[in-house]
Amino acid sequence: MSGQELLALFAHFFSLAIFATGGAIGLASDMHRYVVDEHAYITHTQFVNSIALAQSAPGPNLLFVTVMGWQIAGALGALTTTCAIAAPALILPLVVSRLSGLAQFDRLIAALKRGLGPVAIGLMVASSYLLVRETPGQWKGLLIIAATFLLGLLTRLPPALLIVLAGASGALISW
C-alpha cells in the first residue's frame, strides 16, 4: 500500500471519528464501504473477523479498527487507523473548556445528547443491517447469529464468552 493510500485511509477514519456519536461500531457501515466495497483492501470476511477478534479479546471493542488496519497494511496500517480514530478526541479538552464557560452549557450538552442519541442508534442499526445482510448465504451463519442474539437477550452470559462458544462450535461443524 502506498503512502498516499495510507494518508487517505488516515483522513477517512479521522473524519469518521470526528463525527462519531456513541461507539465506534456505529461507524462500521461507512468503514465497510471504504475498505471493502470501494477500495477492496480487505474482504468482507476479514472485516467481520476484525470485529469478532476485538470483541472476544480483552480490551475495548473499538480495537476492531486496529485489527482492520493491520489486515490492510500490517503494523503501519494498524498505527494509521488507530491513531486516526483516537486523534480527534485530543481536541476535546480545549473544546470543553471553551464551551463550559457558556451560560447554557448543560442545556447544550443535553440537547446534543437528546438530538444525536437517535442518530447514533440509526448508525448502529445500519451497521448491524450491513453485517447481517452480507452474511455468507449459509444457514449455519444465520443460525449462529440468531442463537447469539437470543442467548445475549435472555441470559447474562458475557458477549466474549458467547463468541468463544460460537468459535468452538464453528471449529467442530463442517461449513
Q: Which of residues 5-24 bind other proteins (CB under 8 A)?
A: 15-24
**Cell 468452538 found at:** 168
Long-range contacts of 129-134 (CB under 8 A, 24+ apart): 129/29, 130/28, 130/29, 130/32, 131/28, 131/48, 131/51, 134/44
Name the minimum Å distance from CB 123 to other proteins.
Answer: 6
Question: Which residue bears the cell 443491517?
Answer: 129
Residue with cell 494518508: 7
Contact 1, 77 (CB under 8 A): yes
Quick note: the x/- pattern for other proteins over 55-94, rule CB under 8 A, is xxxxxxxxx--xx--xx------x---x--xx-xxxxxx-
Contact flag: residue 172 with other proteins (CB under 8 A): yes
- Site size with other proteins, rule: CB under 8 A: 111
**Identity of the residue, 6 or 84, whose beta carbon is nearer to other proteins in the bound complex:** 84
Which of 1, 72, 110, 137 is in the footprint of other proteins by CB under 8 A? Answer: 110
Give phi and psi for 155, each to the nearest 5.
-120, 175
Q: Which of residues 128-147 bind other proteins (CB under 8 A)?
A: 128-132, 135-136, 140-142, 144-147
Residue among 7 and 19 whose Cβ is closer to other proteins: 19
CB of 79 to other proteins, least distance (A): 9
CA distance 122 to 11: 24
CA distance 94 to 53: 34
Residues 149-168 that bind other proteins (CB under 8 A): 149, 152-153, 156-168
The interface with other proteins within residues 18-57 (CB under 8 A) comprises: 18-30, 33, 45, 48-57
Least Å distance, CB 136 to other proteins, is 8
What DSSP character marks residue 35? I
